[in-house]
Amino acid sequence: MSTSSDHTTTSATTVTTTAKHETAVVLPANLHARPAGQLARAAAGFTSAIRLEYADRTVNPTGVLAVMGLGATAGSTVTVRAEGHDAEQAVTALVQILATAE
């Protein structure tokens, strides 16, 4: 029984390390092919579930066409959400790309 207890403790620890993180960023430029490609490459490097939200639409940023399909333009606000073990790092990386888009 102590083995089951140890296993349960390990599972509980794994669940509690999962994090949610969210940040909004105002775009300095339109979300066109170059920044969309940068976002897709960066998002693919994380294990967290990542979402971009703009104008009541939500997409997975690992697809360039999905990101471009948001239609986000300069001056608009995009929200980056992530849930998983590296959620904070994922959001930070994607926000950096969005904040410096040209």
- Residue 8, classified by CB atoms within 10 Å of its CB into exposed (0-12), middle (13-18) or buried (19+), is exposed
Mapping DSSP to helix (H, G, I), strand (E, B) and coil, where does residue 71 land? Answer: coil
Which residues participate in catalysis according to the annotation? 32
